[in-house]
Amino acid sequence: MTGTLYKAEALLANVLLAVIVFLVFGAGITRWFGYPLVWSVDLAQLLFVWVSFLGADMALRKRAHIGIDYLVRRLPGRPRVLLDALLAAVCVAFLGIMAVLGYRLTMLNLERLYGDSGIPYALVTIAVPAGCVMLASTLIGQAWTSLSRLRTEARPIFVAESRGEIEEMVP
């Protein structure tokens, strides 16, 4: 069940990114021939915020978000898991507040339209609470796994076990 969900998430994000490429590519070509497509760029930016949050959630699941574990690496296993769990709780609280505020903000501004193309801007704003809910639920799941296995193994929440498989495209 959850495996299917992850696959669907990845598939959706991949398709959206590919669509964004062609929207911007197409807009560039048509502008070159003198027919700018305003809606195409607006739609690309709308989809981009969704790709960003879907990607952020996928990165969180892979424990790929960059953090500094220089100091906490020196902590023994279990205290480190407990510290991670505490931080995760703070994080979930933050994401929860952002989700509630973001939802309210979206409901307040339902009429606002995107530039000239008539796409409702609410579709952008709603990505923030939706993304925060996704991130929070992933984080809760990871914290739960780590805490429930605490008796047998100490598995940090934010960092993957091995450092060997880092392959990010960070500048």
The residues that touch another protein, with contacts defined as CB under 8 A, are 10, 13-14, 17-18, 20-22, 24-25, 27-28, 32, 41, 44-45, 48-49, 51-60, 62, 64-72, 80, 83-84, 87, 90-91, 94, 97-98, 101-102, 104-105, 124-125, 127-128, 156, 158-159, 163-164, 166-171
Do the beta carbons of residue 39 and residue 27 sit within 8 Å? no
Q: How far is the CB of 99 from another protein (least distance, A)?
A: 9
Q: What CA–CA distance (Å, rounded) separates 28 from 82?
A: 51
Q: How far is the CB of 165 from another protein (least distance, A)?
A: 9
Q: What CA–CA distance (Å, rounded) separates 38 from 24?
A: 10
What does the H/E/C string look like for 125-165? HCHHHHHHHHHHHHHHHHHHHHHHCCCCCCCCCCCCCCCCC
Q: How far is the CB of 39 from another protein (least distance, A)?
A: 14
Q: How far is the CB of 47 from another protein (least distance, A)?
A: 10
Bridge partners (DSSP) listed for residue 114: 119
Kindly tell me which of 145 and 160 has the beta carbon lying closer to another protein: 160
Kindly tell me which of 55 and 147 has the beta carbon lying closer to another protein: 55
Q: What CA–CA distance (Å, rounded) separates 147 from 125?
A: 34
